Structure formats: C-alpha cells, structure tokens
Amino acid sequence: METGNFWTSVTQNRINRRRLLRTGATVGAGAAALSLIGCGGSDSGGGGDSTGLLFEPVDTTNNAVKGGIFPSSSQDVANFNTINGADSTAAMRGYSRFVKWGVTMYPKPIERKLDPDAMASWEVSGDGLTWTWKIRPNMKFDPRPPTNGKALTSADVLYSWENFEKLNPQAATLANKVHADGAVQTVTAPDASTVVMKLAFPYSPLAEMLTYNRHLAILPTEANDKFDIRNAMFGTGPWRLKEFVPSARLEYVKNTDWYDADKINVDGLSFFIIPEYSAELAQFRAGAIGSMVVSPQDILTTKRDKPQILMLPETEYAQIQGWFRFSYLPDSPFLDERVRKAFSMLMDRNLIIEVFRGTKEFNDAGLETPTRWNSAIGAGNDPYWMDPLDEKKFGPEAKWYQHNPAEAKALLRAAGHTQPIAAPYITTSYYGEAYLREGEVQRVMAEESGDFKLTAKDIDYRTDFRVNVRYGFNKHEGVAWGSSGQDYPDIDGVLQAHYVPDKDRTGELDATGKPDAKLGDLIRQQRVETDTEKRVTILQDIQRYIASKMYRMLDAGDALTFTLANPWIGNYGVYRAPSGGSEWTESYIHWWIDNSKKS
C-alpha cells in the first residue's frame, strides 16, 4: 500500500541522515521531517513560546452565555454497555460513578483530587479493609420510563456491581471473585443509602480506580429486564441520551436533575460519527466541531491556515499509547527473551518520537516540545515512571531500550537464529491511520538489519483483534502492534492490563513456559503498599525486571505537543482534570459556546 512505501522511504531517509551525522554534515530542507535526532528524555520546561502561536486560557465563566448544542465528533459506538472503549466513553456521559476527578483551574498544575459523584461521602476503616459509602440523596434517574425519575438506592449499586463482576473484562482488576488479585471481596448494603465494600487486602487506590470510565457504571436495576443497555441509557449522569443513530450521530440533552446542573453551560451535545481522520479534520477546520485530536504533523499547518484556532501546550505525557505483544504459542521464537530484547533494540526511539510526535517541526518553529521515553510503563505515570535514558538510576537493564542493531544481532545469534525470523505482524485498521503508519515504520525498523521477516496482517478489531490479541493470553501468532487510547486513573490499572502474568490480557510466561511468579509477586506488593515512597521503589524494581524480560514493549515514548480548539469554545483549557475519568462529567461541563467568535 502507499502508506508502506511512504514510510519505507522515511526509514531510508534515516539511514542517509545517520551517514551525514557521522561526517558532521547537516541535512537540508528537503529531508526536514527527519534531519535531526531530538534529545530524548528531556522534560524540562514545556510549551515555551516566542512565536505568538499559543493561547493563554482565560476564565470566562462570568461572561458565559448559556444554551446551544455543542458539536463534537466521536468514534463509532456499537452499544452503551459500559464495557468497551468508545462505548464506555459514550455511556459514561449518562451514567454516574462512585466518585469523579475534581478539576484544577489553570494555571495551577493538574491535581489528582477526588470529588463525590453518586457517593456523597466515604470512610475507610483503620485496617483499610472496609470502605463505607454514603449515596448522594435524591440522585434521580432519567424521568422517562422505565426509570421514571426514581432515586438511586443501594439496590442499583448492588445490581451494578454484580453486572460488573459477571460481564466486564476489567472486573479482574477489582473483583476478588473474578481474580485473586482483585481487592473487593464483597459489596453489601445495610440500608438503602449505604454501601459497604469488604476488601481482601488494603488497596489504597480503590477510590481512584472507581473514577475510571470503564469500571463501575451505576446502572438502574431496570437494566436487568426493562430496557436493553446496548442501545439505550437511563442514568443519573449530567447528560441524557436523546437519540442514537448508529454510524451517524449521538444526541444528548442536559440532565436538569443532576446535582451540578447549574454548572453546565450548554443545553446538549451532538457527537457526529466521523471515522476518517481527514474528514474529521476538515470539519474541525471549517468550525463545524469544537475540538479534536489533531495529529502532530497537522498542528502547525492547521494553525497557520486558520490563525483564529486556539493552540494550547500539553502538560501531561501519555500514560500508555501503543504496545507490542509477542506470541507465546508453544513454538513461538518470542518465548526466548533474547528475541524480544533484540526486537526492542532494533527500534530507534528518538526517531519514532521525532516523526510521530512532530518534535523537530515544532522545535524548528521555536516551540518547546519536551520528550520522554517509555519504560515498561508510560512516561506519564509520575511519580512511578523511571527514565530508561538515566542509566545510573535505571541500571544495566536500561540497555535493552537503546537502539543497537549490532547487539540485537548478537542476541539472535546466541539464541540460534542465523536466518531472519519469519512471523506475522498483526495490526488492525480500527485504531486509525496514524497508528498504522507508526506500526509500518517499526516493522521496517525490525527488518532493516535482516534479522526479522514480518508479514503484515491487518485484522478486524471487534471479531478478531480484541478477542484473540487483546484478551487472548498472548496466544496469537507473531508480533501484534496495538494501542490503548485510554489512560488509567492509577498505575495499578496499567499493570493489571499489561503485566499480571495469568490474565487473558497479559499471559506473561517465564523461561519454563509458566506464568512469571516473580513478576506477579512484585505487582501484588505494590497493590498493598500504602506508603507512596515505598510504592515508588517497588514500581522501579518492576520496571527493571520487565526490561530484563521484555515480555511486551510499549511504543517509543511521548512529547508534550499541543492541542487545538475552535475559538468559540469558552473556558477552553481553564478547567482541567486528570485523565481516565469522564471529561463531559468533570471538566468540559464548564465549556460554553461563544457565538461572537464564530465566523
């Protein structure tokens, strides 16, 4: 395909660039996208501006004009079962959680603080094993049948927990009945306004994990048999589903019974299903939708073409983005950790960040774009993340992240591979064009030294990739390149989703072909540790250990680039919350439509 040819030429430019760098030459404008390597690992500063391109957020709440329907875009939604990624994001606009993230006002750094949602308050026993939650009084469900505006009670919470335990693939993270590492043993209700959770072990991030939009949505008991949760919503959240036209749009109206309804500035939301990035970008540039995630390669062009668009520096690195999973089938060459480490050492992480985060283009324009490499956990997982470029702190395991094709070849020869390792290279178009392009570059990098021969294989996400790659105990073939678009509210979510050795989403095996007991023990240690400094130490040991095994590999890293929005969004960038929650419940409710700034 053309994408493959184009990105093969990118890799060829990299080879030419290295030759020039070795001779002290410089690359001309014709190879501008790939001419220099960024420093990597630097995260000082962020969003410096001597260009006049950047926007300074301003609190305009006192001038907000209420009303209007806010237009936005969305991935296609299969149903509202609160289980899958895009589906749960859509559903959580209408459902409540136990707690939500609190907002921080610009310019203060984002704080990880909790606010009540469906639960008005909670207490934790001295031993950390009993959590007692008090339900917010008069929390009304949708006034339409079948819920008819009834108040939320503990019966709804118990039903929701049972539904979560039975159906949600994330249940093993929290529910002890599903997996021994789950903290919550029982959920009971001594009365209609109280819920009690009994834990198997102290689990300090429990409240934070309950902010996650893919965990525990509070459903009405009527969801059992009075309506189909797949295509209807009757919740207590800030928005009520008005209309859902599959593959076309979602319409919400403001829930006037919501406890903070007075803070919501718009009357409703329209989400247009726009699967193609180019079409979405065209709608954004035309001002038809408020904001979108613009690829780094398109940010400066869009801003220069449409100078009225607001451009704001990012302040948080991603917790996790792309990842590689290796086959653990009985005859897979990737059962040998030397093969996995070799694959890692063939990746030029600086180049990947430069190309796909656009750092050189931004730096050339006078805009700071600090970068970080990922370790076994993403660069945004402060304070737990450890920099692989800091070899003194990281230790000898840091070398497995370095770009070193010669060492990679030596590892493969030591493992008995004298010919290129032939294997499928599995992707899915579901994640979009940018993901496919990054995957293609990394496939070419792996093949460049003649050590791998990877056959591209694109498969359907919902029927194949999700079932056999994401949730298949790593029993797929070859190498799989995937993506996680949603950050977790606590580092434990990352570990549960990617590294616990005996779960369907992980399946890591040691040299004996059995789940890695040492890794499992380390992950359990950090789960029960309530002292932050001690937990940091355990997480650092986990990162070193995973680097020594390279059970799976995250993408190269991240850069603090920029977000774009149309100028008619009032309060853009002012009210901010940590990622992993539900933006249209937490920060975005403060947005308003400034019609005076529409062209």
CA distance 28 to 13: 12
In the chain, where are the structural domains located?
62-282+563-593, 318-559
Side-by-side strand order, sheet with 239-245 = 69-74, 268-273, 249-254, 239-245
Give Cα separations from 135 to 175, 195, 216, 492 (angstroms): 21, 8, 15, 26
- Phi, psi values for residue 563, rounded to 5°: -110, 155
CA distance 437 to 208: 34
The 3-state DSSP class for residue 455 equals strand
Query: Which CATH entry fits the domain spanning 62-282+563-593: 1.10.150.120, 2.60.40.10, 1.10.150.80, 3.40.190.10?
Result: 3.40.190.10
- Quick check: pTM over 0.85? yes
pLDDT per position in the chain (599 positions), as tens?
A: 444 444 444 445 544 444 323 323 222 222 333 333 333 344 434 444 678 999 999 999 999 999 999 999 988 888 888 765 558 888 899 999 999 999 999 999 999 999 999 999 999 999 999 999 999 999 999 999 999 999 999 999 999 999 999 988 889 899 999 998 899 999 999 999 999 999 999 998 999 999 998 889 999 999 999 999 888 999 999 999 999 999 999 999 999 999 999 999 999 999 999 988 999 999 999 999 999 999 999 999 999 999 999 999 999 998 878 999 999 999 999 999 999 999 999 999 999 999 999 999 999 999 999 999 999 999 999 999 999 999 999 999 999 999 999 999 999 999 999 999 999 999 999 888 889 999 999 999 999 999 999 999 999 998 999 889 988 888 899 999 999 866 889 999 999 888 988 777 777 777 777 889 999 999 999 998 989 999 999 999 999 999 999 999 999 999 999 999 999 999 999 999 998 888 999 999 999 999 999 97
CA distance 523 to 83: 24
CA distance 490 to 382: 10
The half-sphere exposure of 372 on its side-chain side, counting CA atoms within 13 A, is: 24
Please check whether the domain covering 318-559 is classified as CATH 3.10.105.10.
Answer: yes
